């Protein structure tokens, strides 16, 4: 799979009220090794450090009334201005955002870096989102407690596509969603007979043409079924 991101240092800044959540799963395995090897860089910005009052408030009640609290634009503005030589796109993780898909992930992996704003509470003052032209992204039609989890999902999906992260361990162009949005075929390994259930005969036939046809059929079938589920 081609990736035009020749700049191996992909700079990520994350604005969050919970910096302790990071790197979390981004600190292990291939993504964690890529972090250690400086293929990507993580700059954590604790939004609370930019609060304006002695109570260190970062949120306030919504104009127009309603439940919950809204993150203040002036606090987020100061946090954003603290990022040195920012390059790349600004993204706000919110359930109101456009739903993430592999096409978007690929596009973002070609940026020089990203600024991620993790929402909490009822939301973020819309003025700061509009002023800084944040791209609002959701990881799915459900709500998690905060944008941090969503930021981790987004970063996982992007960083594995950066050059040298998989180190030849993956076959990116064959996997689910990278080819015409078809889901991957099912996989089997040893033992050949497990609990009386055998591996499909075709896979041990040695006939590569037949195996390819069978796998393609499986991909089409499972894609039809799963798409109908949604
Ligand atoms: N914050 C809460 N739920 C979210 C979602 N589904 N996507 C992105 N950010 C979120």
Beta carbon of 16 within 6 Å of any ligand 1 atom: no
CATH homologous superfamily of 182-229? tRNA(m1g37)methyltransferase, domain 2 (1.10.1270.20)
Residue 158, classified by CB atoms within 10 Å of its CB into exposed (0-12), middle (13-18) or buried (19+), is: buried
Going from the Cα of 229 to the center of ligand 1, the distance in angstroms, rounded, reads 21
Beta carbon of 100 within 6 Å of any ligand 1 atom: no
Q: State how far the Cα of 163 lies from the Cα of 157, in Å rounded to an integer.
A: 13
Structural contact between residues 5 and 12, judged by C-beta atoms closer than 8 angstroms: no
Domain ranges of the chain: 10-159, 182-229
Q: State how far the Cα of 13 lies from the Cα of 22, in Å rounded to an integer.
A: 11
- pLDDT tens digits along 99-149: 999 999 999 999 999 999 999 888 999 999 999 999 999 999 999 999 999
Q: What is the pTM of this model?
A: 0.90
- Counting from 1 in the atom list of ligand 1, the atom nearest the Cα of 100 is 7
Q: State how far the Cα of 159 lies from the Cα of 104, in Å rounded to an integer.
A: 13
Query: Does residue 220 register a pLDDT over 50?
Result: yes
Same fold, 10-159 and 182-229: no
Residue 20, classified by CB atoms within 10 Å of its CB into exposed (0-12), middle (13-18) or buried (19+), is: exposed
Query: Does residue 4 register a pLDDT over 90?
Result: no
Helix and strand element counts for the chain (H, E):
6, 10
Beta carbon of 150 within 6 Å of any ligand 1 atom: yes
Mean pLDDT of the chain: 91
Residue 93 pairs with which residues in a beta bridge?
A: 118, 137
* pLDDT at position 178: 59
DSSP state of 89: E
Query: Does residue 78 register a pLDDT over 60?
Result: yes
CATH homologous superfamily of 10-159? SPOUT methyltransferase, trefoil knot domain (3.40.1280.10)
């Amino acid at each position: 799979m081609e990736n035009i991101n020749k700049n191996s240092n992909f700079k990520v800044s994350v604005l969050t009220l919970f910096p302790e959540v990071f790197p979390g799963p981004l600190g292990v395995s291939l993504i964690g090794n890529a972090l250690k090897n400086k293929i990507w860089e993580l700059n954590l910005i604790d939004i609370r450090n930019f609060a304006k009052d002695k109570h260190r408030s970062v949120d306030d009640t919504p104009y127009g009334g309603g439940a919950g609290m809204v993150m203040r634009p002036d606090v987020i503005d100061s946090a954003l201005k603290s990022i040195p030589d920012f390059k790349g796109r600004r993204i706000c993780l919110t359930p109101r955002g456009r739903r993430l898909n592999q096409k978007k992930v690929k596009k973002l992996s070609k940026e020089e870096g990203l600024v991620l704003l993790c929402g909490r509470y009822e939301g973020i003052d819309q003025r700061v989102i509009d002023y800084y032209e944040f791209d609002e992204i959701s990881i799915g039609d459900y709500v998690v407690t905060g944008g941090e989890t969503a930021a981790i999902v987004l970063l996982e999906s992007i960083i594995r596509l950066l050059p040298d992260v998989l180190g030849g361990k993956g076959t990116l162009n064959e996997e689910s969603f990278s080819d015409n949005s078809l889901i991957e075929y099912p996989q089997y390994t040893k033992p050949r007979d497990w609990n009386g259930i055998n591996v499909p005969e075709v896979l041990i036939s040695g006939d590569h043409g037949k195996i390819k046809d069978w796998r393609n059929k499986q991909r089409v079938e499972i894609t039809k079924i799963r798409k109908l589920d949604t």
